[in-house]
Chains A and B, each alone.
Chain A
């Protein structure tokens, strides 16, 4: 696995883990909008921190193994473009549902969580696609 594949795999794992924890917490019992807001802020901060620690750790690991520090080339750019396009389609597809949800939803918390789920799914599709294209071809 190359540095970029490891990075995509780790980011995907971190995302799935964070959203799973958040989902389980959310389904536990009803929450106020302030509790959800607090969980979101803590979640994003934690995810950022874990990603930074992971990136630094992976860099040191690569240096220790004397792996070449390679800049992105045409294949990396194509993988990124195709993955971002997949994520874009996810957002675009679900975006049309959000106004409907907002109009019929009983609470703002529910609407906010639909938006969060959309963004989470798009991020997972983005990094999952990167991993797929690196492994099986772009």
Chain B
């Protein structure tokens, strides 16, 4: 799963990771892990992130099947 969180943060007034973390109720470390693809958030957190950026879920996260990645 890939995401555009980093790009979206910069498009939204260079929002800090801490500010996003505070908005969705997780730690900054979790936001870092999500951005780097080391952690897939719960559906609830994913919707909250999309809501913060005022974007639909698929504009923030995208899923690519393993066979398509090759």
Residues of A near any B CB (own CB < 8 A):
2, 68, 70, 73-76, 78, 136-138
Is the Cβ of B45 less than 8 Å from the Cβ of A74?
Answer: yes
Contacts of B42 in A (CB 8 A): 74
Size class of B's contact patch? 10 to 19
Contacts of A70 in B (CB 8 A): 27-29
Residues of B near any A CB (own CB < 8 A):
25-30, 33, 37-39, 41-42, 45
> Main SS of the interface on chain B?
loop
In the complex, which residue of chain B has the Cβ closest to the Cβ of A78? B39
How far apart are A72's CB and chain B's nearest CB, in angstroms?
A: 9
Q: How far is the CA of A32 from the CA of B16 in the complex (A)?
A: 61
Q: How far is the CA of A136 from the CA of B37 in the complex (A)?
A: 10
